[in-house]
Amino acid sequence: MRHPLQTPLSLWIAAILCTLAQSSPADPAVDAGSTWHRWEHVLTSQRDYKNPCTDVVLAARFVGPGNQVHTNLGFWDGDRSFVIRSTFPTPGDWHWQTLCSDTSNTSLHAQSGIVRVSRSTGSNPIVRHGYLRVSGDGRLLVHADSTPFLWIGDTCWAAPVHATTAEWRHYVANRSSLGYSVLQVSIAPDWAIKTASEDPKPFLSTLPDITKPNPRFFRRMDQMLAEANDQGLVVMMCGLMETPHRYPPPEQTAILSRYIAARYCSYEVIFSPSFDSGIHEAETLAAARAVRWAAPQNLLTMHMGTGVEPRFHAADWLSFDMFQSGHNGGDAARQSSRAVSMPAEILSLAGRKPVINGEAIYEGDLGGAYDVRRTAWLSFLSGASGYTAGINQVYAWKPDAIARMNVPSSGQIATLGRFLRAIPWWDLNPAPGRILNQTADRAALMAFALTTDRQLGIAYLPRNDSVTLDLQDFPSALSILWINPATGQSHPGTPLQPSTRTTIKAPDGRDWVLLLTAPNASQNRSIQRALDKGRTRINGSRATLTFGPRDSMNGLVQKSPADGVLVTGSFKGKACAINENPGRNRYLYIDIDDRLAFRGAVGKMRMDVQLHSDKPLDAVQLQFDSTGPAQVSNTYRPVSPTSCSRHGDWTSLTFEAPTPYLGNRQNSGADFRLYLGTNLCHVASIKVTLEPAAR
């Protein structure tokens, strides 16, 4: 027989079972467990192995009520410790027995026991409804009991390397409370390891050799994943074939993938061999086969950087399709067109599988909150059954990750989740052909979807005066509900009679969600309650921003395009944003929360700035996005300070901006920028006061 690492699991188990005695121990050990909770058992080897991850293979076979059978691999956990793990879908007695490639090691081989499993209680959806699977028709991800699973995700790639225990706990609680359902992490990418603490290292082997993972590092990850699962959050682990560098030899990729899959088979974890990679077929197949060998029940996908890839779509190991509409260098037209076209392309492939937009534009260096919510709504209404958002400071887990995790887009994606959970979102079907006035401007593409029974339709208008729809087979009358996706506020529109060409005018120039339902539909009230329940209310006229790594935002978000990369530091005891290279970084870019101001409705904006400079500030300007066409004279309209005063080491400047538009039309989706000239400046605070436009 070949080495077990080269043998299909079923054949290896069959061969090993033949060597086992038919009888079981007279008094097997009995453990207590509960459905859909992690269970583990530790074994102590009677001998050492030079590399326990390659020299020996441990598996456990579980037989439960109704002769249910599943098998998972075990893993080495340091010294002579080996661990087997599992979860149990049904209550009752589950009998387990170990199988070891070294059959002479009786402390690992032919060990057995019973787990007496009771039914779990509680509100955690992972425990209440069971782990994820693909629906019978291939359209959705669903829980074990067939409850549809809505994928509302967030990226925290570097958290396993950089996040402290307290930070992770705070972040997980926050995302759970907002209604997120998925967190996407990378195991140990090289760009994160380079700035990580030395202890514990991810590997005991000397890089680039990855064949001996460090159990201490992964015990910490155990705790992180358990914290997430216990808060109802699924975790996707990306980069099995590119950790910690691109790309290990396939045989090493298989060893690491098998170890990680065995370690996390009992967690609600989804595995992805790739992490933004292109086509690397040998490495992909090595990782995928190893995961299927070690954790056959867990879902497996590909987080690819190349977009749709038909080569892997039909593979039996691929549970669902994932695409990235992507950042596209901040190009809104490409972001929108890919959010619409990529799910359509996947849905045209033979063999239906669920479709997830696993990475779109982040709020940060290249985009703003509007870009995030725009691509999210477009994705869902174009056929995706999930969307993953991101924030620059959070994905890289910078020192201010916790302070920046509540940028406006995080709440706006939560609003989208609350809306979808209030309707039968799983029954939505994209219907782009019903939009009769689709724009040629790809940055303003609209989307439309409707339920199978045509009792509910949803359109998204990014910046369109109206939408014209073919509604010929809808009910004889329709109710209208307009939803502001930035604020979560909603209000009814004028009911209409559907026709083959029905034109509906948008309330104003902001982005809007249009909900069409049968008259007096009960879900309208439930939608309004759901939107209102989680809505964050902020001060309607003032916003402030300070720059300490743990300072929270209050209506203002700092942006960092190439000519505005400021660092956080301090001066005279105050936290500051500093343009350390003033020849390059001459601007401080700021975005105003769209819940305060977005595309007009503001008559005047006043800005007060406190800063320090050793040189005169004669050239300093406020350059703001003002009313008018999208040309530089409007989007970067300059004004000089109306007042300037000195208080010790600090200078206070006041600017007044008439007729601000504030439509995120500056770099990185900013609404205004402070021009600092060539001075080295320490900016301590910014305060904005907004006056409504006269009616």
The 10s digit of each residue's pLDDT in 185-242 is: 999 998 998 888 767 899 999 999 999 999 999 999 999 999 999 999 999 999 999 9
Asked if pLDDT for residue 490 goes beyond 50, the answer is yes
Residue 163: how many other CB atoms lie within 10 Å: 22
Q: Closest Cα to residue 383, out of 487, 458, 286, 302?
A: 458
Give 306-347 as a DSSP string: T---HHHHT-TT--SEEEE---GGG-HHHHHHHHHHHHHHHH
Asked if pLDDT for residue 469 goes beyond 60, the answer is yes
Phi–psi pair at 437, nearest 5 degrees: -125, 40
Asked if pLDDT for residue 305 goes beyond 90, the answer is no
Asked if pLDDT for residue 43 goes beyond 80, the answer is yes
Asked if pLDDT for residue 536 goes beyond 90, the answer is no
The contacts of residue 337 (CB under 8 Å, 6+ apart) are 442, 445
The pLDDT-based confidence of 538 (bands split at 50, 70, 90) is low
User: Is 4-118 assigned to CATH 3.40.47.10?
Assistant: no
Buried b (16+ CB within 10 A) or exposed e, 615-628: eebeebbbbbbbbe
The yes-or-no answer to whether 4-118 and 429-519 have a common fold is yes
Contact 416, 152 (CB under 8 A): yes
Q: Closest Cα to residue 184, out of 276, 248, 107, 122?
A: 276
Q: Is 410 exposed, middle or buried (0-12, 13-18, 19+ CB in 10 A)?
A: buried
Q: Tell me the average pLDDT of the chain.
A: 92
Say if strands 112-118 and 29-34 run parallel, antiparallel, or are unpaired.
parallel
**Cα 446 to Cα 461: distance, rounded to the nearest angstrom:** 5
Q: Quick one: DSSP state of residue 669?
A: G
pLDDT at site 537? 66
**Cα 446 to Cα 374: distance, rounded to the nearest angstrom:** 10
pLDDT at site 17? 54
More confident residue, 495 or 198: 495
For residue 135, the SS3 value is: coil
The predicted model scores a pTM of 0.94
The pLDDT-based confidence of 14 (bands split at 50, 70, 90) is low
Q: What is the mean pLDDT of residues 496-518?
A: 95
- Output the CA angle 483-486-488, nearest 5 degrees: 45
How many helices (H) and strands (E) would you count in the chain? 17, 39
The contacts of residue 85 (CB under 8 Å, 6+ apart) are 38, 39, 40, 41, 72, 74, 262, 263, 265, 266
CA distances to 17, 28, 83 from 114, rounded to whole Å, are 18, 7, 16
Q: List the CATH code of the domain at 429-519.
A: 2.60.40
Q: Quick one: DSSP state of residue 277?
A: E
State pLDDT tens for residues 371-419: 999 999 999 999 999 999 999 999 999 998 999 999 999 999 999 999 9
What fold characterizes domain 152-421?
Answer: TIM Barrel (3.20.20)
Listed by start position, the domains of the chain span 4-118, 152-421, 429-519, 542-692
Question: Max CA-CA distance within the chain?
Answer: 91
Asked if pLDDT for residue 535 goes beyond 90, the answer is no
The contacts of residue 491 (CB under 8 Å, 6+ apart) are 481, 482, 507
Residue 572: how many other CB atoms lie within 10 Å: 11
Asked if pLDDT for residue 621 goes beyond 60, the answer is yes
The pLDDT-based confidence of 694 (bands split at 50, 70, 90) is confident
Q: What is the mean pLDDT of residues 588-603?
A: 93
State pLDDT tens for residues 337-378: 999 999 999 999 999 999 999 999 999 989 999 999 999 999
The pLDDT-based confidence of 3 (bands split at 50, 70, 90) is low
Asked if pLDDT for residue 670 goes beyond 90, the answer is yes
User: Is 542-692 assigned to CATH 2.10.109.10?
Assistant: no
Asked if pLDDT for residue 539 goes beyond 70, the answer is no
The pLDDT-based confidence of 20 (bands split at 50, 70, 90) is very low
In SS3 terms, 455-491 reads as CEEEEEECCCCEEEECCCCCCCCEEEEEECCCCCCEE
Asked if pLDDT for residue 529 goes beyond 80, the answer is yes
CA 300 to chain centre: 16
Amino acid at 589: Y
State pLDDT tens for residues 641-669: 999 999 999 999 999 999 999 999 999 99
Asked if pLDDT for residue 22 goes beyond 60, the answer is no
**Cα 492 to Cα 505: distance, rounded to the nearest angstrom:** 13
The pLDDT-based confidence of 253 (bands split at 50, 70, 90) is very high
Contact 502, 496 (CB under 8 A): yes
The pLDDT-based confidence of 12 (bands split at 50, 70, 90) is low
pLDDT at site 533? 81
State pLDDT tens for residues 163-175: 999 999 999 999 9
pLDDT at site 5? 55
**Any bridge partners for residue 387, and if so which?**
152, 357
Q: What is the mean pLDDT of residues 489-493?
A: 91
Q: What is the mean pLDDT of residues 436-444?
A: 97
